C-alpha cells in the first residue's frame, strides 16, 4: 500500500513551514509576489524547469505551455514556480549542443536541490534537453514528470512533404551538385519549418521524447502529440495535475529507472530506428541511476528487434503521421511481449496498463510485426582494431551495398581540414574511398559535434554518388542518413587508433560481422603510435576546461566522470 506524505513531510516544509527567522523570510518574500499564505502553505511546491528561450526555436510554444502546466498544478493543490534553465537549442548552440547537455543536467539537479522544491516538471524536447533534464532529475531523485515539447507539423514545398534535417541534407547535396535554383532553395527554407515544435523526423528529439515516455517519465501518449495540437495543451495541464499527486505518493525516478525499463527503452529505440545519439544518452541516463549499459546490450537487442516505425530518415513518414496512426502507444502495443510490461510509469500504472487497447490506424506508418520495415533493429555496434571500445552505424538509413566494403582511406585531420579540401577537384577520391575524419570526438572537437555525415565530395556528387562509407569519432544528426560509422572509441584526440589512419590505408567495414578494421599490421600501428603527438587543447579556463578534464568517451555516455551515480549528496542546510 502506498503511504502518502503529510504536509510536514514535504521537502519545502523546511523553507516555508518552520517558525524561524529564515522561514519568516521565505514566506514574506513569497508574499512579496502577491501570494497569500494559503496559496503555498503546506502545499507541494512544483518546480517547472523550462528550457524556453528565443534562440531555441523548437521550444517557442513553451512559455505558453508553462502556464498550462501551472494551471494543472494549481488545480491539484500544488504551488507552481517556474525555473528557467539553459535552453540548449540544437540549431543555435555552438560549437555543439552536446557540449552543454551535461551543463543542463547539472543546472537541473542544482536548481532542484538549492530551492524549496518537492517535485519537478521537466519541459524539453530539442535534442539534448531531454537527456539533460532527465539526467539531472535522476541524480536529484525528487518526483519528476517530463512534458515533451512535441514535434512540429510536416514541412511542405511545391506539393512535396519535407522532413527536418533529412530533407535539408538531401536538397543541400542537390544544390552542391548544381541541381537546385536559388528560388527553389529559398522556397524550401520557408516551407520546411512550419510551426513550433521539434524536428518532426525520427531524429534525436523524437527518439528521446519517445524513450522518455517508455522509461515512464511522461503521461501515456504524451511524446507523440504535435507541439501545436490542442491535445498538447491538455497534456501539459494534466502533467501539472499529476506531479502534485506524484509528490504525495513519493513516486521518484529511482522507481522508474530499472534495468527492465532501460531494456524497454533500447528495444523501442531499435523498433523506431531511432537516432544513434540515443545510445549515448541512454548510457549516460542509466549511469546516473547506477545501471551499466554496455554497447553489447544494444547490439543484442537490435539483432532481435524489427523496425516498425516508417519515419524518416529510415522510412518515409513524419511525426504528424505517426500521431494520427496511433502514436507510440500503438507501436508499443504491437511490440507487446518484446517489452517488460510491468515497468512503472509516471501515472502510477504499469506500462502494460497504459498501452491496453491502443490500435494502429495506418499500417504503412506503424508496421505490424509480420510486415516490418526491417527484420532487425536500427543500429549496429561495430568493433575491431579501429574501434576497440566500439563504434555505431545505422544500416537502415544507408545504402545496403556499402554495408560490406573495403576501400582506401581519404583522411582529414580535423573539420577545418575537411572543409578546406573536400571539394578540391584534385582530391584523390573515388566512390569506393572511405572518408575519415579525425579529432572530432568528445575531447577532440570538443563536444563530439554532429559532423559525422561527412559531405560527399562535390566532384562525386556531380557523378551521381549520394552515399559513401564515412568514419569519425563524432556523432551525426538523428535526422541524417548514409553509411556513416560514428562514435569511434577511443577517440583520435586521446590517441585512439583512428588517430593513426593514414591516406591510402585500406579499411574494411562489415556490418553483418560487426567489424571495423584497419588493414595495417600491429607492428606498423605501434610504430605510428610512438610518433603520435596529441593535438593542442583549446580551453585553458571556464566550462570548456571542466568539460575537457571530465568528459567520458562515447561508449560511457559522455557524462562527466564526477556526475555518475555515487553516494548521496547532502541536502542544503537552512540557517
Binding site for ligand FES (CB under 6 A): 58, 90-91, 126-127, 164, 198-199, 203, 205
Query: CB of 61: closest distance to ligand FES in angstroms?
Result: 13
Residue with cell 551521381: 464
φ/ψ (deg, to 5) at 153: -70, 165
Query: CB of 14: closest distance to ligand FES in angstroms?
Result: 38
CB contact at 8 A, 227 and 197:
yes
Per-residue CA distances from 100 to 77, 312, 318 (Å):
35, 26, 28
For ligand FES, the closer CB: 55 or 428: 55
Helices 204-214 and 277-288 cross at an angle (nearest 10°) of 40
CB contact at 8 A, 507 and 500:
no
For ligand FES, the closer CB: 205 or 343: 205
For ligand FES, the closer CB: 272 or 380: 272
For ligand FES, the closer CB: 328 or 509: 328
Query: CB of 183: closest distance to ligand FES in angstroms?
Result: 25
Rounded CA-CA distance 517/409 in Å is 12
Query: CB of 21: closest distance to ligand FES in angstroms?
Result: 46
For ligand FES, the closer CB: 199 or 397: 199
Rounded CA-CA distance 53/60 in Å is 7
71: buried, middle or exposed (CB in 10 Å: 19+, 13-18, 0-12)? middle
Query: CB of 64: closest distance to ligand FES in angstroms?
Result: 18
Rounded CA-CA distance 451/407 in Å is 21
CB contact at 8 A, 442 and 532:
no
For ligand FES, the closer CB: 91 or 231: 91
Is residue 555 helix, strand or coil? helix
For ligand FES, the closer CB: 203 or 444: 203
For ligand FES, the closer CB: 150 or 444: 150
Instruction: Kindly list the strands in the beta sheet with 515-518, ordered across the sheet, starting from the edge strand earlier in the chain.
Output: 484-485, 469-472, 434-437, 404-412, 506-510, 515-518
H/E element, 48: strand 45-50
**Cell, residue 5:** 506524505
Query: CB of 201: closest distance to ligand FES in angstroms?
Result: 9
425: buried, middle or exposed (CB in 10 Å: 19+, 13-18, 0-12)? exposed
The DSSP symbol for 83 reads E
Rounded CA-CA distance 363/317 in Å is 12
Query: CB of 215: closest distance to ligand FES in angstroms?
Result: 19
Give exposure, 311-322, as e/b (b: 16+ Cβ within 10 Å): bbbbbebbbbbb
Query: CB of 275: closest distance to ligand FES in angstroms?
Result: 10
Query: CB of 545: closest distance to ligand FES in angstroms?
Result: 28
Query: CB of 198: closest distance to ligand FES in angstroms?
Result: 4
The length of the chain in residues reads 575
Task: Look at the alpha carbons of 188, 190, 191, 194 in this order and tell me if their dihedral is positive or negative.
Answer: positive
For ligand FES, the closer CB: 90 or 109: 90
Query: CB of 282: closest distance to ligand FES in angstroms?
Result: 18
For ligand FES, the closer CB: 124 or 240: 124
For ligand FES, the closer CB: 57 or 354: 57
For ligand FES, the closer CB: 92 or 513: 92
How many CA atoms lie within 13 Å of 295's alpha carbon, on the beta-carbon side?
Answer: 24
Query: CB of 279: closest distance to ligand FES in angstroms?
Result: 18
Residue of 241, 307, 231, 323 whose CA lies nearest to 274: 307
Query: CB of 112: closest distance to ligand FES in angstroms?
Result: 24
Count of CB atoms within 10 A of residue 385's CB? 16
φ/ψ (deg, to 5) at 397: -110, 25
For ligand FES, the closer CB: 168 or 380: 168
Amino acid at each position: 500500500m502506498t503511504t502518502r506524505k503529510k504536509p510536514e513531510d514535504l521537502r519545502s516544509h523546511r523553507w516555508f513551514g518552520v517558525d524561524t527567522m529564515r522561514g519568516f523570510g521565505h514566506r514574506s518574500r513569497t508574499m512579496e509576489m502577491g501570494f497569500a499564505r494559503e496559496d503555498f502553505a503546506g502545499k507541494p511546491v512544483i518546480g517547472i524547469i523550462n528550457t524556453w528561450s528565443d534562440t531555441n526555436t523548437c521550444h517557442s510554444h513553451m512559455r505558453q505551455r508553462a502556464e498550462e502546466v501551472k494551471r494543472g498544478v494549481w488545480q491539484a493543490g500544488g504551488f507552481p514556480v517556474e525555473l528557467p534553465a539553459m535552453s540548449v537549442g540544437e540549431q543555435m548552440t555552438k560549437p555543439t549542443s552536446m557540449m552543454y547537455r551535461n551543463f543542463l543536467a547539472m543546472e537541473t539537479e542544482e536548481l532542484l536541490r538549492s530551492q524549496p522544491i518537492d517535485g519537478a516538471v521537466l519541459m524539453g524536447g530539442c535534442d539534448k534537453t531531454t537527456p539533460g533534464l532527465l539526467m539531472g532529475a535522476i541524480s536529484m531523485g525528487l518526483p519528476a514528470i517530463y512534458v515533451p515539447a512535441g514535434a512540429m507539423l510536416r514541412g511542405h514545398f511545391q506539393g512535396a512533404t519535407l522532413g527536418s534535417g533529412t530533407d535539408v541534407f538531401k536538397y543541400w547535396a542537390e544544390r552542391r551538385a548544381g541541381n537546385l535554383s536559388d528560388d527553389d532553395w529559398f522556397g524550401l527554407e520557408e516551407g520546411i519549418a512550419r510551426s513550433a515544435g521539434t524536428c518532426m523526423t525520427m531524429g534525436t528529439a523524437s527518439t528521446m521524447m519517445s524513450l522518455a515516455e517508455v522509461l515512464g517519465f511522461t503521461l501515456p501518449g504524451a511524446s507523440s502529440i504535435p507541439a501545436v495540437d490542442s491535445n498538447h495543451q491538455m497534456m501539459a495541464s494534466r502533467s501539472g495535475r499529476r506531479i502534485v499527486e506524484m509528490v504525495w505518493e513519493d513516486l521518484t525516478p529511482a522507481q522508474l529507472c530499472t534495468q527492465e525499463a532501460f531494456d524497454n527503452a533500447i528495444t523501442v529505440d531499435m523498433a523506431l530506428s531511432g537516432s544513434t545519439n540515443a545510445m549515448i544518452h541512454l548510457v549516460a541516463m542509466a549511469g546516473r541511476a547506477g545501471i551499466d549499459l554496455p554497447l553489447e546490450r544494444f547490439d543484442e537487442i537490435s539483432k532481435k528487434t524489427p523496425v516498425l516505425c516508417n519515419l524518416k530518415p529510415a522510412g518515409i513518414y513524419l511525426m504528424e503521421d505517426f500521431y494520427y496512426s496511433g502514436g507510440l502507444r500503438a507501436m508499443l502495443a504491437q511490440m507487446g511481449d518484446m517489452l517488460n510490461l510491468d515497468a512503472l510509469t509516471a501515472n502510477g500504472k504499469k506500462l502494460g496498463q497504459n498501452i491496453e487497447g491502443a490500435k494502429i490506424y495506418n499500417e504503412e506508418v506503424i508496421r505490424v510485426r509480420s510486415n516490418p520495415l526491417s527484420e532487425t533493429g536500427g543500429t549496429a555496434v561495430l568493433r575491431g582494431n579501429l574501434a576497440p571500445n566500439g563504434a555505431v552505424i545505422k544500416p537502415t538509413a544507408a545504402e545496403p551495398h556499402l554495408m560490406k566494403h573495403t576501400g582506401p582511406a581519404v583522411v582529414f585531420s580535423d573539420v577545418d581540414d575537411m572543409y578546406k579540401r573536400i571539394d578540391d577537384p584534385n582530391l584523390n577520391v573515388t566512390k569506393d574511398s572511405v572518408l575519415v575524419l579525425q579529432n572530432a570526438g568528445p575531447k577532440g572537437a570538443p563536444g563530439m559535434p554532429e559532423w559525422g555525415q561527412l559531405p560527399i565530395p562535390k566532384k562525386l556528387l556531380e557523378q551521381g554518388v549520394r552515399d559513401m562509407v564515412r568514419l569519425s569519432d563524432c556523432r551525426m544528426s538523428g535526422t541524417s542518413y548514409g553509411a556513416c560509422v560514428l562514435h569511434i572509441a577511443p577517440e583520435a584526440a586521446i590517441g585512439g587508433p583512428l588517430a593513426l589512419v593514414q591516406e591510402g590505408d585500406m579499411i574494411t567495414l562489415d556490418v553483418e560481422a560487426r567489424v571495423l578494421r584497419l588493414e595495417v599490421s600491429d607492428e606498423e600501428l605501434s610504430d605510428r603510435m610512438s610518433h603520435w603527438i596529441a593535438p593542442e587543447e583549446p580551453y585553458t579556463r571556464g566550462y570548456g576546461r571542466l568539460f575537457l578534464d571530465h568528459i567520458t568517451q562515447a561508449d560511457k555516455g559522455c557524462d562527466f566522470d564526477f556526475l555518475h551515480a555515487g553516494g548521496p549528496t547532502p541536502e542544503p542546510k537552512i540557517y
